Structure formats: C-alpha cells, structure tokens
Amino acid sequence: MEVESDLRKVLPAEEHDYDRAKDLKAFDDTKAGVKGLVDAGVATIPRIFFMPPEDILSAQLDDQIDGLQVPVIDLGGINLDPAAHTDIVEMIRYASEKWGFFQIINHGIPQDVMNKVIAGVRRFHEQPKEVKMDFYSRENEKKVRFNSNYDLYKAKSANWRDTLFCVMAPNPPPPEEYPVVCRDILIEYSEHVQSLGQILLGLLSEALGLNPAHLADMGCMEGHGFVCHYYPACPEPERTLGHAKHCDPDFLTILLQDQIGGLQVLHEDHWIDVPPLEGALIINIGDLLQLISNDKFRSVEHRVLAKRAGPRISVACLFTTHFQPFNKLYGPIKELLSADSPPLYKETLIKDYLNSFCSMGLDNDSALDFLRM
C-alpha cells in the first residue's frame, strides 16, 4: 500500500545519510503515526525517536526507589463528617506541596465508565489508518485532531506515542465532529470529570487556606480537554521514551491510565513509578496552579517509559481556560502574598503562556521559568 511505502522512508538510514528534517517530514506525511510504524513491522526504531543516552540510562537505572510512592488519597469519607473532610484536605495539601501528584480512590466515577473510556480510545487508535487520517492535523485551532507528537518539529527527539486531542468544554464542537467509535463515552466521561474537577478544586482551595470556591471563581475550570494517548509496544524501548519529561500546561490534570504502567514522577531527584491501581485516577498540579499558588503547590516533571508490552492507553483531562477567548491576567493569588511571601511570578495571559509552552517543545526548558520575577 502507498502508506506502507511511505513508512519505509522513515526507517533507519546509515549515519552519513541521516537527514533529520527530511525524516521528520516523511514520518509526518504518512499521517499514520507510531502505530503505522508498528503495523509496518519495524524491528528497529527510526533515528528521529532516539533519546540522548543519559535520558535512557536514567530510565533504566533510576526507575525504582524503595519506600517512596505517590500518595493515595481515599475521597470516600469526604462527606461523612468534618474530621474526615479535614484529613482529606490535609493529605491533598501535603501531596500538592511535596509531590505535585497523588492518586485518588472512591472518587465517584464508576469503574465501568473508566473501562469504556480506555476501550473507546483504543478503538480509535486501532482503526484503519485511512479512517484516522481524516482527523490528522497540526492546527491547534481544530477542536478534534489526531497526530503523533504535537512538538514533532521542535523537540530534540520524537516520543513513541500517538494522540487524539478533543476539546470538551466550554464550547465543544458539534457531537458529530468527535470520532464515532468513542464519541458517546468521551461525552459521558467529560460530564463525570467536570463534576470531579469541581470537587478537587474546592479541596485544593481549602488546602491553600482559601474559600472552597476560590479557584473555581478564578476560572480555573472554565474549560477542559482530553489528551488521549496511545503508546504502541516498542521494539527498542532502551532507545526512546513514550513521553519525554515535562510539566503540564494547565491548572489541574485528571489522568486515567490502563494497567500497562510506565508513568514516572520526578521526586527528590529520583524517578518514581506510579503503578496502575485498579479504580484510581491520578491527579497532578499544572504549571498554572503553581504560578497562582506562588509555588505553594508544585508542578513536577513526569514521563512515560517505552515498553515492549503494549499498547498502553491513557486519557488526561486538562483543566484550563485556553479553549475559549480569555483575556484575564493570571498571577499569584493576592490572599497568599505577604511581606514574607512576595510574588514570585509576573502576571500573564493564559494564551501567552501557552504560546511560549508550545513554541519550546517538551524536552526544553520550562515555560514557567520565563515568568519568574
């Protein structure tokens, strides 16, 4: 087939023949993503996916530290009594300050719904490539789009993954614009995470010592979108990563992952595994919440290992305001400032921060650093 012929163009070449720009374009032009390479039967990954040796060495040797694990917080007692509520707020404060990550159980989203989301995303990515090509785009303005590596032409190395991106709120596209194989479950799941996001932002507000409605009133959940990743089994996981280290460009992320595993969080200069936990959702603080909390909460680097097992499926729900025109400036919350705690960041428009984030590529410096005073 023509697509398979195009894919052969991005297979490894001799060192003296390597033209990265040409190989990137050849890969992108297939519109088949990493899944297309796997379907073509690659046994050696293309050079565009090669990671620096120090990153790969780190992935192999620093992936397990005894006694350290991301906090797991049970939300089941949140409405039972004031003491249980207070304990949950304190656990969230600790996790947000020290880790930037935590897992939640008994969060109210049915396991059946989460299973259907994973299955729906897998169905999309495993459709014939001719079907997926209709969604393939690098235009950020498109509310539903499929591609491989949003920063393909900016990053130092490509990541071993494909992604379906869907804006869900506040101004979603007409339902018929979502892929039919996962349309209904994404819309249903969106309603669930919207409600859960409201609860979490209330708890995070309290953890900052603020009124429970403070973060929501600031517009921290004016919009949300799904980033639906597909990490195919990799024939050479020692040469690449599924997702290079990065921080999230949002206020808050709710992540659903399947049972394959591979997610790691950088904690105290060590990469810590976040193993799959049945029924759990992973929560992490984004750059924008670190900014408005004036570094009280931490947005930390995380990554996903490439694996011979797969595919791995994950669905990240990003809460932010950039899915609609929004000209409000965001800076450190004034109630958190004092003579002993002056503002650490300049105010910024969300769109300006995101333009900086998108222009850099995942494996470059943090866009948040440019806003430090």
Instruction: Tell me the whole-structure pTM to 2 decimals.
Output: 0.92
Single-letter amino acid code for the residue at 220: C
Average pLDDT value for the chain: 90
Per residue in 92-145, pLDDT (tens digit) is: 999 999 999 999 999 999 999 999 999 999 999 999 999 999 999 999 889 999
- The two tokens of residue 281 are 């959702």
The lowest-confidence range among 5-19, 54-68, 173-187 is: 5-19
Look at strands 223-231 and 162-169 and give their pairing.
antiparallel
Interstrand relation of 101-105 and 281-285 (parallel, antiparallel or unpaired): antiparallel
For residue 12, the tally of other CB atoms under 10 A from its CB is 16
Could you give the CA distance from residue 57 to residue 329 in angstroms, rounded to a whole number?
41
Strands (E) in 43-198, as ranges, are 72-74, 101-105, 144-147, 162-169
pLDDT at 363: 54
Q: Are the C-beta atoms of 348 and 331 separated by less than 8 Å?
A: yes
Tens digits of residue pLDDT in 308-335: 998 999 999 999 876 655 578 899 999 9
- What kind of fold does domain 2-371 have according to CATH? Jelly Rolls (2.60.120)
Considering the chain, what percentage of its residues have pLDDT values greater than 70? 89
Cα separation, 92 vs 175, whole angstroms: 35
